[in-house]
Amino acid sequence: MDQSAIQAVSESDDRRTAAAAPAALRVDHRAPDRLVLQRGIFTGPSAKINDELYAVAKGGKVTRERLSLRLDKGVTVHTNTYFGRFAASYWQRWTTVTEVTVTMALEVGRRARVRLVASDIAGHRRIIDSLTTTASGVATLSAPLDQFVDGGALWLEFDADGGELGIEELVWTAGAPERIRPVAIAICTFNRAADCAETVAALAGDPTVLAAIDAVYVVDQGTDPVADRARYREVEPAFGDKLRYIRQPNLGGAGGFTRGLYEVSAVNEHADVILMDDDILCEPETVLRLNAFANMTVEPTLVGAQMLFLLNPDYLNVGAEEVHLGELRHGQRVPKALRNTSMLKKNQERRVDAGYNAWWTCLIPAEVVAKIGLPIPIFFQWDDVEYGVRAREHGFVTVTLPNAAVWHADFYWKDYDDWARYFSTRNSLIVGAMHTDLDGRKITKQLFRNIAEQLVAMQYGLVHTTLQGIEDFLDGPKTLRDGGIAALAAARAERADYPETIKHPAATPPVNAADITVRRAGGEPSRALLVLIKRAVDQWFGRTQHGLIGVTREDAYWWHVSLFDHVVVTDASQSGVRIRRRDKARARALLLRTIRVLRRLRRELPALQSQYRAAMPELTSRANWERLYGIKAS
């Protein structure tokens, strides 16, 4: 299709989409005199969440509601907490805000004191503003944002000195811009209907957030429709005409999230789209904070939420992430950012600047879509990374905003040995090829090392899945023709040929449980390469410890598992076990295949980089996504 035809299709479909979009999404909104940047929240959206992520009380009884606190006489409360802090450093560095005001309604028994407190990059505390009052009413404190560039935050401290103290309607505000950008939420879901319905319900349950949202797109790619769930139908009326439910083929996270960007960017070139996973525990306040920040940035900016662990909800995954393209590694911690840290014990004082933000929850302005196009149809894994990298190449930064987060399934409860490794391997090569000059020698050496560790650990299915990803990368951009549907089916089906990829119930594994002897791992080897060579030789010649060995997930390192020839390993999910067994013939075949594939990769990598880069405009075009979605021009 020539460029004029592509443009005609896109313009025609833009009209179709705009006509179907909620009216509020099509226009910018008049701003209030002051914009609410965040609210005082004092308890979480679920009983699973520790209240001290919001406010900490000492000295007596405190009654908490979502948006209010009541303190008994003598109680002190502070909001120097994960959700209670105001990320002053980020607001000063990236937005036009120069001063922030905090207002609240106080119900004072006899006397109360309120302090507006700041920290610096080292966490040192200083009082910015304070008041002592004996009368109920509205209290106001202010702070200039002029000493926070490298780090620091603001929070409040309350003392109920003379009697009970009630606090409500607490808001952090700043002078508003002339217009407020429309905002839509796009939720991508695949057979997590109950979880998705609860996420939609969380948005509906907060009137302030619901009023600020102009549209919600639920993009359902599964066979268990969200719209059939009672919970979804129960909250649907609360949205009025704002809710849009879309069914489409399963094109992975890339296809689901792109549909939201596709729909909204066709309607308003100044709109924001908040991409949101279906299976999160949603903190609705995060939507308000991301939206406010995006309205105040100097330039259109991708604004991401942080991720707290769902099973360990006090813990932060990482404060900010970056990608090391030359090493095919994403999810790398930005230096000085917190990682796997209890947010009840520590705060991120230093400002850390992200390279990209994952799409568990991330706001993307329509200007970004207009300039760089839509995401690449790589199904899932690395789609969010690629988009953040491409945006930065075109001048759009990403800010991962502290004190704005959702809870998402803990990554370390997911086993590395699964079909998703196909997409992780293939897509890392695609993204690396598109955005940096990969060193073929370095990359093949790294991949060989990884595969060698998997072979000695008897993870033959994982090796096959990894090679499958490399081989499909070698096929060039045509491997993305169907958006990943065939690749998903192949990756899943072919793993069935490898017994160790199958998860069994821990109580009834297909071995005699009485024969299992548990072996714990020692310390990590200091000369890992020499140990790997020795393990490979021992595995090859059968010089391994015989018998049925049990290994816990925490001990399942390649250098430990490879000591044995028959191992029962706990799955990372803790929901079952996998059984690995030495198979010399299979290991030999996979080793020879590895050598052939990596030689070809080294030889063909320069040409492949050129092919993928040349294909990017077509891959990311509206016309290509319309083809994948089956959208026809009206």
571 catalytically annotated:
no
Instruction: For 215-270, write each residue's pLDDT tens digit.
Output: 999 999 999 999 999 999 999 999 999 999 999 999 999 999 999 999 999 998 88
Q: What's the rounded mean pLDDT across residues 578-584?
A: 96
Instruction: For 435-472, write each residue's pLDDT tens digit.
Output: 999 999 999 999 999 999 999 999 999 999 999 999 99
Instruction: For 129-149, write each residue's pLDDT tens digit.
Output: 999 999 999 999 999 999 999
Q: What's the rounded mean pLDDT across residues 586-605?
A: 98
pLDDT for residue 412? 82
Residue 118 in contact with residue 143, Cβ under 8 Å?
Answer: yes
Instruction: For 306-317, write each residue's pLDDT tens digit.
Output: 999 999 999 999
Comparing C-alpha atoms, which of 93, 69, 597, 578 is closest to residue 301? Answer: 93
Predicted TM-score (pTM) above 0.85: yes
Comparing C-alpha atoms, which of 289, 340, 280, 334 is closest to residue 314? Answer: 340
Residue 495 is inside which H or E element, if any? Answer: helix 485-495
Q: Give the pair of three-digit tokens for residue 4.
A: 């004029």
Helix (H, G, I), strand (E, B) or coil at 9: helix
Instruction: For 50-89, write each residue's pLDDT tens digit.
Output: 999 999 999 999 999 999 999 999 999 999 999 999 999 9
Cα angle, residue 303 at apex, residues 423 and 370 outer, rounded to 5°? 75
pLDDT for residue 19? 45
- One DSSP character per residue, 174-237 reads EEPPSEE--EEEEEEESS-HHHHHHHHHHHHT-HHHHHH-SEEEEEE-SSS-GGGSHHHHHHGG
Strands 329-333 and 321-324: antiparallel
pLDDT for residue 16? 40
Model confidence at 9, pLDDT cuts 50, 70, 90, reads very low
Q: What's the rounded mean pLDDT across residues 529-547?
A: 94
Answer yes or no: is pLDDT of 515 > 50: yes
Share of the chain above pLDDT 70, in %: 97
End-to-end CA distance of the chain: 18
Cα angle, residue 405 at apex, residues 237 and 94 outer, rounded to 5°? 110
Model confidence at 480, pLDDT cuts 50, 70, 90, reads very high
pLDDT for residue 20? 77
Residue 62 is inside which H or E element, if any? Answer: strand 62-65
The full 3-state SS of 243-294, as one line of letters, equals EEEEECCCCHHHHHHHHHHHHHHCCCCCCEEEEEECCCECCHHHHHHHHHHH
The full 3-state SS of 305-361, as one line of letters, equals EEEEECCCCCEEEECCEEEEHHHCEEEEECCCCCEEEECCCCCCCECCCCCECCCCE
pLDDT for residue 165? 96
Provide CB contacts within 8 A for 592, sequence distance 6+: none
Q: Give the pair of three-digit tokens for residue 209.
A: 């957030």
Number of neighbouring beta carbons within 10 Å of residue 53: 22
Comparing C-alpha atoms, which of 488, 471, 462, 502 is closest to residue 586? Answer: 462
Catalytically annotated residue among 159, 206, 383, 384: 384
